[in-house]
Amino acid sequence: MKSRRHIISVLMENEAGALSRVAGLFSARGYNIESLTVAPTEDATLSRMTIVTTGSEEVVEQIVKQLNKLIDVVKVLDLSDGHHIERELMLVKVRAGGKDREEMKRMADIFRGRIIDVTDKTYTIELTGTGSKLDAFLEAIDAAVILETVRTGASGIGRGERVLKL
């Protein structure tokens, strides 16, 4: 039983406690959870959640079924079943004084990042992309200059006509 990474989209009622039902489900059943993002959709009564998890086909089948079983959940889609796009946002605060300053600007450009906050000694760089692109950026720069990172976890959407809607 090979374990694989899955990205699962969940459309659910925007109700108090809905998030804890999902989080509780994953911990109670021992499912792995790599990241989880959630926010209301264009229809304020619905929230959309993106969960990244790893597991064998059997486990992921159970995860999808168990999510569907939650009363607040309206629809579940395993995006990894088809073509999809994934994006994650990362903010990185780096030391950017002296010789580092030019180098950091150059690296941000290469990765199509934007510098969104500047002081004499620091830059804050905003970067979006797949998780692996963000990882690559962190690897590309000198670990010693990183002051702080914050990542949102992945959001995902199906390609082309593939939509998750009521």
Per-residue interface string for the shown chain with other proteins, residues 115-154, x marking contact by CB under 8 A: ----------------------------------------
| Helix segments in 10-164, DSSP class H | 18-28, 57-69, 99-110, 131-140
Question: Site for other proteins (CB under 8 A): how many residues?
Answer: 20
Instruction: Give the sign of the dihedral formed by CA 46, CA 48, CA 53, CA 57.
Output: positive
Q: How far is the CB of 68 from other proteins (least distance, A)?
A: 7
- Quote the CA–CA distance of 18 and 135 in Å, as a whole number: 31
Question: CA triplet 5, 8, 13: central angle to 5 degrees?
Answer: 155
Is 38 a binder of other proteins (CB under 8 A)?
no
- Quote the CA–CA distance of 78 and 158 in Å, as a whole number: 10
Is 65 a binder of other proteins (CB under 8 A)?
yes
Query: Which listed residue (33, 74, 91, 157) binds other proteins by CB under 8 A?
Result: 74
Is 71 a binder of other proteins (CB under 8 A)?
yes
Residues that bind other proteins (CB under 8 A): 12-13, 16-17, 20-21, 24, 28, 58, 61-62, 65-66, 68-69, 71-74, 166
